[in-house]
Amino acid sequence: MTAQPSHAKAQLPQVTHPAQEPGNPGMELDLDWVRAAQANTSAIERRAATLPGRRSVKKDFQAAWLLRAITCIDLTTLSGDDTPGRVRRLCAKARQPVRADLLDAMGMDPITVGAVCVYHDMIAPAVEALDGSGIPVAAVSTGFPAGLSPFRLRVEEITESVAAGAAEIDIVISRRHVLTGDWQALYDEMRIFREACGAAHVKAILATGELGTLRNVARASLVCMMAGADFIKTSTGKESVNATLPVSLVMLRAIRAYHARTGYRVGYKPAGGISKAKDALVYLSLMKEELGDRWLRSDLFRFGASSLLGDIERQLEHHVTGAYSVGWRHAAG
């Protein structure tokens, strides 16, 4: 990964929230393209296995990349015991994810996370707590996490979430459509969800841990993008297997193929189980290698994560207190 000058305030990516981008217009279902999509599992797994071991970001520039990662977090709470108070505290963290003294020590401007992600009932307190911050509220809808409630209710849930102020809707697809190869049903479902979202951005959660094969992941990714998904997202965080590097490689290559064919950029959101700063760096590096710099901004890349921010903060603190003179300052000079 190209090094980012760690001292330059202007070098951090500008946070572009998705509401500033036009939605993916989608296209007709191209069944030939879907059926032609393959995934060479052993080659993908071999390549994925090499990723964590590689030194993709120079040590001197890691802090700048970690700050960039923060701007791409969908700071999430999706628990049965969520309360307005918990959501308000999360939103306060979203507004100021890094302590001011740490930012000052690094010579960095204030940043925010990419979005706050909650269940439908927590949209109102989140919208209120984020008022004026420019941080969007993302809501999980359509019977999250299983997506097995009546179809009419899933669509109504989207409508209600948008009315409550969610600017982004994370929908869950019906896994059975993928497992039975019913691409038309998946496309139709996604198309209706897309329509119900209106101006809100829609992230399609594939629940890849329940799709059986990487080839299914590739095909489902394509179908959801054809039907107008603005983002494709790996997981709800509730499956037994959530975001993985092999699945990410497959989904990123589907995004690349869709962009090459249509010219439209679809975003990527790995979610579930990403809790370490070093993993965030691997994902950023992978985005850069597979899709390029344009996908390193929050309008095209998000981490769905409830605890990643805590570890990144700890690493930044070590950076400032531990390596202050020989690391950060040296690099800045």
Q: Which stretch binds ligand G3H (CB under 6 A): 20-28, 102-110, 248-256, 270-278?
A: 270-278
**Applying CB under 6 A, does 248 fall inside the site for ligand G3H?**
no
Find out whether 137 and 167 touch, Cβ atoms under 8 Å.
yes
What is the distance between the alpha carbons of residues 145 and 163, in angstroms, rounded to a whole number?
21
> For the window 302-331, what string marks contact with ligand G3H as x by the rule CB under 6 A?
--xxxx------------------------
The total of other beta-carbon atoms located within 10 Å of residue 325's CB is: 8
Which region, judged by CB under 6 A, interacts with ligand G3H, from 7-15, 91-99, 101-109, 267-275? 267-275
Nearest residue to the partner ligand G3H, using Cβ: 237
Which residues lie closer than 8 Å to 23 by C-beta, 6 or more apart? 194, 199, 201, 202, 228, 230
CA distance 268 to 154: 23
Among 111, 78, 118, 116, smallest CA distance to 96 is for 111
Query: Residue 303 forms beta bridges with which residues?
Result: 73
Contacting range for ligand G3H; rule: CB under 6 A; set: 8-16, 48-56, 283-291, 300-308? 300-308
Show the site string, 3-42: x = touches ligand G3H by CB under 6 A, - = not.
Answer: ----------------------------------------
Tokens coding 269 = 């959101």
Catalytic residue among 60, 203, 269, 311: 269
**Residue 170 falls in the annotated catalytic set:** yes
By CB under 6 A, residue 271 contacts ligand G3H = yes
| Closer of 262 and 275 to ligand G3H (Cβ) | 275
Q: Which residues make Cβ contacts (< 8 Å) with residue 312, sequence separation at least 6?
A: 66, 69, 70, 277, 280
Catalytic-labelled residue, pool 74, 203, 230, 233: 233
Tokens at 199, concatenated: 């101006």
The footprint of ligand G3H on residues 56-95 (CB under 6 A) is 76, 78
Interface contacts to ligand G3H, rule CB under 6 A: 76, 78, 117, 236-237, 271-273, 304-307
Q: Which residues are catalytic?
A: 170, 233, 269
